Amino acid sequence: MSQDPTVRVERWTLQSRISILAAAIILAILATGPFFFGNNAIDKLTTLFIYVILAVTWNALAGYGGLVSVGQQAFFGLGAYAAVRLADAGLNVYVSLVLAAVIIAAVSLPISSFMLRLRGGEFAIGMWVVAELCHLLVNLDSLVQGETGTSLIALNAYDADTRHALNYWVALGSMTAILVILFVLLRSRIGSAIQAIRDNEEAAASLGVRVMGTKRIIYVFAAFGAALAGALWLSTAITFQPKTYFGVQWTAYMIFMVLVGGLGTFEGAILGALIFFLIETWFGGSGVWYLIGLGATALVFSLFVPRGIWGWLERRFGLGLLPLGYRILGVPSATRMQTPDDGGIGAAPSVGTP
């Protein structure tokens, strides 16, 4: 049987190249934000950048790694706490924010030795237990004074305008670095191994994949992202109260963003963060009805749009702005798989092997 010359395998398309260029232009424009926007707009955009970090790192852990955690607030809170401690020791406050995330990523290594032995619901609940233990331990620190909390008083060294601008630039730079690192990681052999483990851990091990080591990489990366987000949030809120930073609502926000945007899709987590940011901006003052609305929306998407908004768009229209795998294009109609939601473009799904 002769091979159809129209069939080709590709990773980068014109669409994806334009998307990367557009993303670079948008980031360059955003970098000038403090010169044109007021402090209120700067603070809101800083919040959006933090939400993107939370969404993409939780999606990396659960959507690509298959490790569904309901305890990422452990690292979020520890990141803020470590930043307070480092700043109190005399380190520059903005250096403290990034170094705190690095330290908590290192702390997550021994934790991973125990947690990664758990699977499914056991892992999810185990992470929640870790978060509660971290909360209790932080409360014992005399600097924190229990639930009374403390403040990142080192920020007082900067005037208001400078502080808002620095928070913005650090958050924007952190988000950009997280996105680039994750994109490169998921396109590498490690990314393929991560997804293979998610699909079938035993089969991946039989093919020579280092299961525990690969899972540890994505676990530590997700811990780093959550800790960095926690430290950045502290720089905008200034005050640190353990019950706020170790609250399960942070993981609930992550889950909401990823479910709505598209679990297991790179673009979906970013879209979900943007949607959550807009919802919070418009309806955040609605009190308990706001939380009820978030829960109902997440439930609807789980039942009727399980692939999320971006997952549906990707399947329906063949969108692939930031491709992680290969695409098989031009498959002959006699051999291509027929699916009810094929999108009519004659393309098979992406192949995750780099």
pLDDT computed for residue 1 by the predictor: 45
pLDDT computed for residue 257 by the predictor: 93
* 288-339 per-position pLDDT tens digit: 677 777 778 888 887 888 888 888 888 887 777 776 666 666 555 444 443 3
Using 50, 70 and 90 to split pLDDT, how confident is the model at 9? low
Using 50, 70 and 90 to split pLDDT, how confident is the model at 346? very low
Residue with tokens 């190249």, as numbered in its chain: 17
pLDDT computed for residue 325 by the predictor: 62
**Mean pLDDT of the 213-221 span:** 94
Please state the φ and ψ torsions of residue 169, each to the nearest 5 degrees.
Answer: -65, -40
Contact 256, 42 (CB under 8 A): no
**Mean pLDDT of the 59-77 span:** 93
Contact 324, 332 (CB under 8 A): no
164, 169, 170, 171: CA torsion to nearest 10: 90
Integer CA distances (angstroms), 307 to 43, 186, 265, 310, in order:
31, 19, 9, 7
User: DSSP class of residue 343?
Assistant: T
pLDDT computed for residue 11 by the predictor: 65
| 145 Cα distance to chain centroid | 31
* 162-197 per-position pLDDT tens digit: 999 999 999 999 999 999 999 999 888 888 888 888
Alpha-helical regions (H) of 60-119: 73-88, 93-115
**Mean pLDDT of the 78-104 span:** 94
